[in-house]
Structure 1
Amino acid sequence: MTASRPTARTAATTIATRLAALPCGRRGKWVVLAVWLILLVATGPLAGKLMGAEDNQASSWLPGNAESTKVLNEQRAFQPIETAQAVVVYDRPGGLTPADRAQGARDAVTFATAPHVLGPVVGPVVSGDGQAMQTIVPIDVGTNGWNDLRPAVDSLRATAAADSHGMTTHVTGPAGVGADQAKAFAGIDSSLLAATVSVVIILLLLTYRSPVLWTLPLISAAGALVVSEAVIYLLAKHAGLTVNAQSAGILVVLVLGAGTDYALLLTARYREELRRHEDRHEAMAFALHRAGPAILASSATVVASMLCLLIAEMNSTRGLGPVCAIGVLVALTAMLTLLPALLVIMGRWVFWPVRPAYGTAEPTKTGRWAHIGAWIARRPRKVWVGTALALAACCAGLVSLNANGLGTAASFTGTPDSVVGQQVLEQHFPGGTGSPLTVISTAADAGAVRAAAQSTPGVAGTSVPVTHAGQALFQATLTDPPDSQAAKDTVDRVRTAVHAVPGADAKVGGNTAVILDAGRAAGNDNRAIIPLVLGVVLVILALLLRAVTAPLVLIATVVLSYAAALGISVLFFEHVFGFQGEDNAFPLFVFVFLVALGIDYNIFLMTRVREESAHRGTRQGAVAGLAATGGVITSAGLILASTFAVLGTLPVVGLAEIGFAVALGVLIDTLVVRSVLVTALTVDLGRHIWWPSPLSRPADVRQMEPSGHA
């Protein structure tokens, strides 16, 4: 029996190597290339349609079961076409003249003919101080969400400004804000793609120092992006998958960033094997066999983490999960099939000017990371304790974390017209003007419900109820700005008051209610999803490393890295960028991306350390693993961090914050946690880090057992 185990293991290894050789065989490489070319020709036109399939209506972002979402759905019975109010504001500090008021009246007539305007135009209404007036224009949101708001709002702004005669004019309200958001997201896919590709090209050139090699990972990643966008388009069109501008933008960054990471790891291992094998097909087969499990485990952590988002209450968060999971799966497929085929087809010369000749020494064994590993090995406990304390100190910034949502003004990196208009509106009218609450109840109880809302502190006034099919709808104007905490508190008071009317089945929605419900749903998502992601990743690591101690150590280091990145980011947001808080989903999105992607580098390192430990022992294996993977993991981290940093160029604070924090966290993971903290912990713990696998036992005990157990 003892002799059969090595034979069985050798047979399994041979089978695995043969399977790995399929995409890079002498004939297989051409089959793979042909399949991908056919796939790209078929999916290219579909990928270009993804932007048209985006759903940017409010319901695609909001929590599905929230009271404000139910109001959005039920109010369609009163007006089948969803509308958003644009508020045109005129302002003259010295007081409006009769000519100004006449001009406002003429503009109101013209507004009714603007694109997508639907329903009666209300106003102009002059403020109590006589210095401003407002006109409310309902705009058809249509099936394209905020994209239909832009032409209407642009027309309103042009009309109001044309004959203002010294008055300042602005368009604000939900429609004005939505139009400015649409403008901020306009071209997000193309601009992100161009910026991300530029960053990847530069960093690949610096990494490979080859005029040709960089093109192969980029071609493979670009192919993966095209196919994934086509698949997502088909699912959005025919299977009900929700895609919005946010998820489509993150998809570009994730596929190019993660795909390039996988490419770097495989290419580095292929270069090693080329020095050991004369036949490049054989070298690639061994590279796939040895690097494949780490790449598969890495992608599995990302996919599993993304799919955890499916339990989210927020529709925008829930929709992001499958979109990103599909992108990573397609990127994985491309890097394990298309890239190996391209590398083998091109031959060794693609590495020019530093070609890995057969029989030459592997330079990583004596490189910079080998020296760093040796330095860590001399004093591992001091290194990991000092590093952990430094990271813990960085967490101090968390006391300033204010992830309670971003108001209208705080959601843009600049100051668009709708923000200025809202500020002018608040100076001359009740703060909630232009963004009233919407209350729906039974028609029979509408009077009692309206009276309850009217008497609630924080409500400036209510409209006359409109009835339809046994239901009634009216609006309540708040005294405070619609995105303020005072306005949110008023929503709770109004809900308490109207819910107390017996049999009225009253519901309260509107812009402020949406903000309130979204914040609470995001908090619930944080509490539910973060522990789930940790548990899923822990299981994957345990299966991959066949240990318990190592996965727990790795999870602890990644969580510490996440907290440090968040702490530093919050300080930068507050004191450098001047951001006024963080988006509700910020902690969750950063956590999911950092844990899923940050654990990648630990997987790349520890799978190699485990491989080396079986021959050298854990302490020497840790140093050897760091020497072998240090350069490629650092390059991968720089590329991934740079791709996420591209999000910071967008004029949307929420995405800019996510991009900055993820980029910073990836750098911390790559340069500090993986290279210093994890290596030092592994050296200090020694064989015990592999408990309870056979590698955790003393070497003499293992040598008495049949080989292959480790």
Structure 2
Amino acid sequence: MGAGETSTRTRRRAVPWAVLALWIGLLAAVAPFAAKLADVQHNRVTDYLPASADSTRVARIQDRLPGGQTTELVLVYHRDGGLTAADRARAGEQVERIAGRHTLTAPPRGVPSADGTTLMYPVDSNEPGTDENARDALVDDVREVARGADGLSVQVGGPGALATDAAGVYASLGGPLLYTTVAVVALLLILIYRSPVLWLLPLVVAGVADFLSTGVAYGLNQAFGTTVSGQNSGVMTILVFGAGTDYALLLVSRYREELRRHERPHDAMLAALRGCGPAVLASSATVAAGLLCLLAADLNSSRGMGPLGTVGVLCALVAMLTLLPALLVLLGRRVFWPLVPAYGSTPKARRSLFAAMGTSAGRRPLAVLAGGAVLLGALALGALNLPGGLKQSDAFVDRPESVAALQTLARAFPERSSQPITVITPAGRADATLDAVRDVHGVDNAERGRTGDGWTEISVTAQGTPQSAAETRTIEDLRHALPGSYVGGPSAQQLDLVDTNARDRLVVVPLVLAAVLLILILLLRSLVAPLLLVAAVVAVWGAALGIGGLVFGPLFGFGGTDPGLGLLSFVFLVALGVDYGIFLMHRMREESTRGAEPAAAALTALRTTGGVIASAGLVLAATFAVLTNMGLVQLVELGFVIAVGVLLDTFLVRTYLVTSASVALGRKVWWPGPLSRTPEPVRPERQPEPV
């Protein structure tokens, strides 16, 4: 062995150790910032509202008024047979105690229901200001004081109590979401690899990537003010483990193949990275590009999810293409024990499920394609059965006290709203605005509130119940009749959420399609193949929404659909679904470049990548399915639609429809690239004539 070869081998052995040392240093540098992400996470109304909506301006101006934002609560005293004199005395005593312990904006005044069963006490305090912890402490203390007895029920509701209950659900997401995700991924990796050691590596590396992503997300927040909410940080964790494990599965599968062709693990890893690296890079690029398109959204929660989701995907990519290869090379072949791929060996030949599926798809491609298209179209019709907009009272899977209070008020006061509408008007026009408000049809009462910073707050009570069609008309009439003033409050916020999501769909969806198409065209050097993949994932999105429409109301009992479900599920399913198309089509292109006929290339690609794609799809679907165990309906709906869509994409669209379309199109699938042209037959050399 020459000195040059020895030196080269020594350098190769040092590379994995150097990568490992760099990662240790990087994690040490990130650690102080990763621990601070929870401190900048907020679930205030303004973190989710549309950036330019009236209701957002109202919330921000309220923050600047004397005392900051008001926490609005409603104490609801109820007895089925009718309130007694002792009940009313008990209610008055408890309200006096609350007023003595906290600074209220006005003396509480009881409002009895017409049937005598319910007594409502609105209690407003600007004591917490914009401090969420102080708001939660106020709500907890009021609930501690307001207690029922002997058949008298006491419930604390109102916007402040709703916000506290929602914050409690979001606060509980972090730990359970992470632990459940890790457990699900670990179980699936054990079943996939059937090795006592190998499954640990992708899981540990995904955990490292998640830790890195929290530090980077905190840096983005400090540098650019990126919105960090419970929903956004939870989805970031899901993406790190889901997408990261997908990349690991593809890399490990290709590495196993190369270990049979190369004697040294280092050489096998280099070949594996060269083989699957472009597909993994393109896959992560499509997800990142799709998520970054959310920056064009006007909804704060959607716009904040773009950079956080991108951080998660890119951290997973870097970890899986650097740290995971280093660990695999350092551990050598023995990491695959007991199924160690020996150098020069040939894998045991057996007819796989995906080979059989590919054969059936290749036999009658047009029939399979037509049947799949009809099935997806029929499923998409279920979207017509999606329940209407999600009301605040229907936003929780398990009914908290604040929602129970709203429902009690709705039954006891069917003729009026128990949830105020807030009008913010310039202080110099307060009297004229107050008169104009009282003249608007559907307004039951209007009272002047706080004044400061050049603005005056007017509290409006509508005749319609909260988030009813009548109250919605009143809000719209107020906005039309009060130019220069802003109309907000919980019901106005829900109305703005619906309107803004409709606007965001028109803007973001074309951007996502254009970004994904551009990346696919650059990778596959074709126009037909990218259009085929994008059409497939759009069809999957429609079918997944349709299945949601069939189960959300009838099976899950949900009373509404989150306004952002359509946009967020589209972005995730298109960006993530194209991943599997990239894995399949990249291998198909590789086989075609080697001279395989189009049908043979498509079937070989399915046979060699089908198992990996199926494993990756199961992992990704399972990680998003973790959201269905959370306490908010919007998270359950999002997790369900994405999980179902990924499964449809993995086991129907990729295996049957894309393969069938590729077989039917033949070389045209690569048009207008060079692979679309039939190669000229090789002519035999002309033999000289005998003399």
Q: TM-score, with normalisation over the residues of structure 2?
A: 0.94
Deviations 1:502-523 (A, max 9, x none): xxx2221111111111110111
Name the counterpart of 1:173.
Answer: 158
Deviations 1:142-190 (A, max 9, x none): 58765543332222222111x5443111011101111211222222011
Name the counterpart of 2:480.
Answer: 496
1:283-682 equivalence runs, <5 A:
283-363=268-348, 366-402=351-387, 405-429=389-413, 433-464=417-448, 466-468=450-452, 470-499=454-483, 505-615=484-594, 616-682=596-662
Residue 55 of structure 1 deviates from its aligned partner by 2.0
Deviations 1:679-698 (A, max 9, x none): 11111111110001111000
- In the alignment, the residues of structure 1 paired with residue 126 and residue 264 of structure 2 have an alpha-carbon distance, to the nearest angstrom, of 65
Higher mean C-alpha deviation, range 445-454 or range 599-608? 445-454
Please state whether the residue corresponding to 2:165 is helix, strand or coil. Answer: helix
- In the alignment, the residues of structure 1 paired with residue 282 and residue 9 of structure 2 have an alpha-carbon distance, to the nearest angstrom, of 20
Residue 365 of structure 1 deviates from its aligned partner by 7.7
- In the alignment, the residues of structure 2 paired with residue 392 and residue 398 of structure 1 have an alpha-carbon distance, to the nearest angstrom, of 11
One-letter amino acid of the counterpart of residue 391, structure 2: G
Q: Is the 8 A contact 1:598 1:666 kept in 2?
A: yes
1:51-90 equivalence runs, <5 A:
51-90=38-77
- In the alignment, the residues of structure 2 paired with residue 182 and residue 358 of structure 1 have an alpha-carbon distance, to the nearest angstrom, of 56
- In the alignment, the residues of structure 2 paired with residue 74 and residue 149 of structure 1 have an alpha-carbon distance, to the nearest angstrom, of 18
One-letter amino acid of the counterpart of residue 519, structure 1: V
Of the three residues 649, 654, 673, the one matched with 1:693 is 673
Q: Say if 1:660 and 1:141 are closer, same or farther in 2 by CA, change over 3 A.
A: farther
Higher mean C-alpha deviation, range 96-105 or range 574-583? 96-105
Number of corresponding residues: 676
Q: Is the 8 A contact 1:604 1:629 kept in 2?
A: yes
Q: Percent identity, please.
A: 45
Q: Is the 8 A contact 1:66 1:517 kept in 2?
A: yes
- In the alignment, the residues of structure 2 paired with residue 679 and residue 455 of structure 1 have an alpha-carbon distance, to the nearest angstrom, of 65
Q: Say if 1:32 and 1:413 are closer, same or farther in 2 by CA, change over 3 A.
A: same
Could you tell me which runs of 5 or more consecutive residues in structure 2 were left unpaired when the two chains were aligned. Answer: 1-7, 685-691
Structure 1 residue 158 corresponds to structure 2 residue 144: yes
Residue 75 of structure 1 deviates from its aligned partner by 2.9
Q: Is the 8 A contact 1:432 1:479 kept in 2?
A: yes
Q: Is the 8 A contact 2:386 2:553 kept in 1?
A: no
Residue 477 of structure 1 deviates from its aligned partner by 0.4
Residue 572 of structure 1 deviates from its aligned partner by 1.0
Please state whether the residue corresponding to 1:63 is helix, strand or coil. Answer: coil
Q: Say if 1:309 and 1:701 are closer, same or farther in 2 by CA, change over 3 A.
A: farther
Name the counterpart of 2:31.
Answer: 44
Q: Is the 8 A contact 1:397 1:568 kept in 2?
A: yes
Name the counterpart of 2:86.
Answer: 99
- In the alignment, the residues of structure 1 paired with residue 130 and residue 433 of structure 2 have an alpha-carbon distance, to the nearest angstrom, of 34
Q: Is the 8 A contact 2:544 2:644 kept in 1?
A: yes
Higher mean C-alpha deviation, range 436-445 or range 214-223? 436-445
Q: Say if 1:508 and 1:702 are closer, same or farther in 2 by CA, change over 3 A.
A: farther
Q: Say if 1:23 and 1:149 are closer, same or farther in 2 by CA, change over 3 A.
A: farther
Q: Say if 1:431 and 1:249 are closer, same or farther in 2 by CA, change over 3 A.
A: farther
Residue 481 of structure 1 deviates from its aligned partner by 2.3
Q: Say if 1:703 and 1:529 are closer, same or farther in 2 by CA, change over 3 A.
A: farther
Name the counterpart of 2:194.
Answer: 209
Q: Is the 8 A contact 1:22 1:28 kept in 2?
A: no
- In the alignment, the residues of structure 2 paired with residue 630 and residue 563 of structure 1 have an alpha-carbon distance, to the nearest angstrom, of 24
Higher mean C-alpha deviation, range 452-461 or range 525-534? 452-461
- In the alignment, the residues of structure 2 paired with residue 370 and residue 54 of structure 1 have an alpha-carbon distance, to the nearest angstrom, of 48
- In the alignment, the residues of structure 2 paired with residue 280 and residue 143 of structure 1 have an alpha-carbon distance, to the nearest angstrom, of 61
Name the counterpart of 1:13.
Answer: none
Of the three residues 246, 263, 278, the one matched with 2:231 is 246
- In the alignment, the residues of structure 2 paired with residue 569 and residue 229 of structure 1 have an alpha-carbon distance, to the nearest angstrom, of 31
Q: Say if 1:324 and 1:113 are closer, same or farther in 2 by CA, change over 3 A.
A: farther
Q: Is the 8 A contact 1:56 1:144 kept in 2?
A: no
Q: Say if 1:214 and 1:238 are closer, same or farther in 2 by CA, change over 3 A.
A: same
Higher mean C-alpha deviation, range 142-151 or range 305-314? 142-151
| Alignment RMSD (CA, Å) | 2.2
Please state whether the residue corresponding to 1:354 is helix, strand or coil. Answer: coil
Q: Is the 8 A contact 1:430 1:478 kept in 2?
A: no
Residue 287 of structure 1 deviates from its aligned partner by 0.3
Please state whether the residue corresponding to 1:575 is helix, strand or coil. Answer: coil
Residue 233 of structure 1 deviates from its aligned partner by 1.4
- In the alignment, the residues of structure 2 paired with residue 168 and residue 452 of structure 1 have an alpha-carbon distance, to the nearest angstrom, of 39
Q: Say if 1:409 and 1:328 are closer, same or farther in 2 by CA, change over 3 A.
A: same
Q: Is the 8 A contact 1:121 1:135 kept in 2?
A: no
- In the alignment, the residues of structure 2 paired with residue 667 and residue 441 of structure 1 have an alpha-carbon distance, to the nearest angstrom, of 51
Residue 489 of structure 1 deviates from its aligned partner by 1.6
- In the alignment, the residues of structure 1 paired with residue 322 and residue 415 of structure 2 have an alpha-carbon distance, to the nearest angstrom, of 59
Name the counterpart of 1:189.
Answer: 174
Deviations 1:240-276 (A, max 9, x none): 1110011011111111000000000000000010111
Residue 63 of structure 1 deviates from its aligned partner by 0.9
One-letter amino acid of the counterpart of residue 437, structure 2: A
- In the alignment, the residues of structure 1 paired with residue 274 and residue 134 of structure 2 have an alpha-carbon distance, to the nearest angstrom, of 51
Q: Say if 1:432 and 1:298 are closer, same or farther in 2 by CA, change over 3 A.
A: farther
- In the alignment, the residues of structure 2 paired with residue 95 and residue 435 of structure 1 have an alpha-carbon distance, to the nearest angstrom, of 23
Name the counterpart of 2:219.
Answer: 234
Q: Say if 1:83 and 1:25 are closer, same or farther in 2 by CA, change over 3 A.
A: farther
One-letter amino acid of the counterpart of residue 175, structure 1: G
Deviations 1:664-684 (A, max 9, x none): 000000001001100111111
Please state whether the residue corresponding to 1:27 is helix, strand or coil. Answer: helix
Residue 238 of structure 1 deviates from its aligned partner by 4.1
Q: TM-score, with normalisation over the residues of structure 1?
A: 0.91
Please state whether the residue corresponding to 1:578 is helix, strand or coil. Answer: coil
Please state whether the residue corresponding to 2:372 is helix, strand or coil. Answer: helix
Q: Is the 8 A contact 1:225 1:252 kept in 2?
A: yes
Please state whether the residue corresponding to 1:699 is helix, strand or coil. Answer: coil
Q: Is the 8 A contact 1:49 1:233 kept in 2?
A: yes
Q: Say if 1:667 and 1:617 are closer, same or farther in 2 by CA, change over 3 A.
A: same
Could you tell me which runs of 5 or more consecutive residues in structure 1 were left unpaired when the two chains were aligned. Answer: 1-20, 500-504, 705-710
One-letter amino acid of the counterpart of residue 119, structure 2: M
Deviations 1:299-346 (A, max 9, x none): 000000010000101011100000000111111000000000011011
- In the alignment, the residues of structure 2 paired with residue 364 and residue 544 of structure 1 have an alpha-carbon distance, to the nearest angstrom, of 32
Name the counterpart of 1:15.
Answer: none
One-letter amino acid of the counterpart of residue 678, structure 1: V
Name the counterpart of 2:204.
Answer: 219
Higher mean C-alpha deviation, range 123-132 or range 234-243? 123-132
Residue 434 of structure 1 deviates from its aligned partner by 4.3
Q: Is the 8 A contact 1:57 1:143 kept in 2?
A: no
